[in-house]
Amino acid sequence: MSNKPYRLAVSNQKGGVGKSTVALNIAGALGERGQNVLLVDLDPQGYLTSGVGLDDEYTTPSPNLNDALKAPGEHAVDDLVVAHEEFDVLPANIDMFSLEQELVSGMRGRERLSMLLEDVTGYDFLVVDCPPSLGLLTDNALLACENVLIPAEAEDTSIRAVELLFKQIDSLEDNFGASIQEEALVVSNVDYPLDGEQQGMLEWFDDTFSDRIPVFEIRSRAVIKRAFNAGHSIFGHDEECDQADELLRIADYFIEEQS
Ligand SMILES: Nc1ncnc2c1ncn2[C@@H]1O[C@H](COP(=O)(O)OP(=O)(O)OP(=O)(O)O)[C@@H](O)[C@H]1O
Ligand SMILES: [Mg+2]
């Protein structure tokens, strides 16, 4: 195990495009491959935290991820981590709803997650689920991870969403001297048979990205939703899912990138 974990932000500011589902299942796939993973929920809405059964932690007054991002030097990630059967989890907290405002006026408001994760060891991968906005929390994730996995739906609106995300990444690179890699794109929740819009978008993703970064495709499956609602990825679930191979392909790609 290397000392410095590979950090991956799962990010797209558009809502409901599959970020939390992809983050959970990539964490599960990496775990299936024997990797030690910490799944970080940076979304104040806490869907992922709740999904993996940590509703109590979501409302735990303190100390929590909100406190840690307000004062990274005063908190150790290890004290906030909760064990899950497939991976460890750093849960979101309901108090994080007011965090963005504090980060705007605070010192190094976009680098708090970098500071907090700086000394984290004992993991091969940190996977960060981002909120659906291009606010300071997402900036924190992009700067802390510098590797981005972009989930996007096969819908026309994804073009603008991806362009805006790339613009934000460019601006962070310019302002912080960071080098943020768009590592891969996952077209999530693809529903066969394809309609014209989905077909057109799959072609657009392929034409636009596949000569630079891999474009993966996860199909829409009720079992993926059921697994999430039961508190785990499809790899910890008791039903088969035919999307396991594609998720393991994504995990293998990142294991290769890490080494
Ligand atoms: N492959 C899939 N098969 C079936 N349902 C899916 C799949 N991917 C995502 N979904 C469903 O789509 C909805 C949105 O997914 P998810 O919550 O992961 O998106 P999100 O981008 O994290 O949303 P938000 O922006 O609110 O954080 C959820 O109801 C989820 O169960
Ligand atoms: Mg989400």
Over the stretch 187-238, which tens digit does the pLDDT of each residue have?
Answer: 999 999 999 999 999 999 999 999 999 999 999 999 999 999 999 999 999 9
Dihedral in degrees, nearest 10, Cα atoms 128, 131, 134, 136: -70
- Which ligand is nearest to the Cα of residue 19, counting in written order? 1
Contacts of 7 (CB under 8 A, 6+ apart): 117, 125, 126, 128, 144, 145, 146, 147
Cα of 19 vs centre of ligand 2, distance in Å, is 5
The structural domain count of the chain equals 1
Cα of 9 vs centre of ligand 2, distance in Å, is 12
Asked if residue 113 belongs to a domain, the reply is yes
Give the neighbor-by-neighbor strand order of the sheet with 215-219.
82-83, 88-90, 37-41, 125-129, 6-10, 147-153, 181-190, 215-219
- Which ligand is nearest to the Cα of residue 234, counting in written order? 1
Asked if residue 57 belongs to a domain, the reply is yes
Nearest atom in ligand 1 to 190's CA: 1
Rounded distance between C-alpha atoms, residue 72 and residue 67, angstroms? 8
Rounded distance between C-alpha atoms, residue 84 and residue 82, angstroms? 7
The predicted structure's pLDDT at residue 62? 86
Nearest atom in ligand 1 to 228's CA: 31
Contacts of 98 (CB under 8 A, 6+ apart): none
The pairing of beta strand 147-153 with beta strand 181-190: parallel
Cα of 18 vs centre of ligand 1, distance in Å, is 4
Cα of 74 vs centre of ligand 1, distance in Å, is 34
Q: What is the CATH number of the domain that holds 199?
A: 3.40.50.300
The predicted structure's pLDDT at residue 1? 47
Asked if residue 1 belongs to a domain, the reply is no
The pairing of beta strand 88-90 with beta strand 82-83: antiparallel
Domain assignment of residue 97, given as a range: 6-258
Asked if residue 46 belongs to a domain, the reply is yes
Q: Please give the mean pLDDT across all residues of the chain.
A: 96
The predicted structure's pLDDT at residue 61? 83
Which residues line ion ligand 2, judged by CB < 5 Å? Answer: 19-20, 47
Rounded distance between C-alpha atoms, residue 179 and residue 142, angstroms? 10
pLDDT, mean of residues 25-52: 98
Query: Ligand 1: which residue has its CA nearest to atom 9?
Result: 18
The predicted structure's pLDDT at residue 182? 97
Asked if residue 229 belongs to a domain, the reply is yes
Q: Give per-residue pLDDT as tens, 107-130.
A: 999 999 999 999 899 999 999 999
Ligand 1: residues with CB < 6 A are 15-21, 43, 47, 132, 188-189, 218, 220-221, 224-225, 228
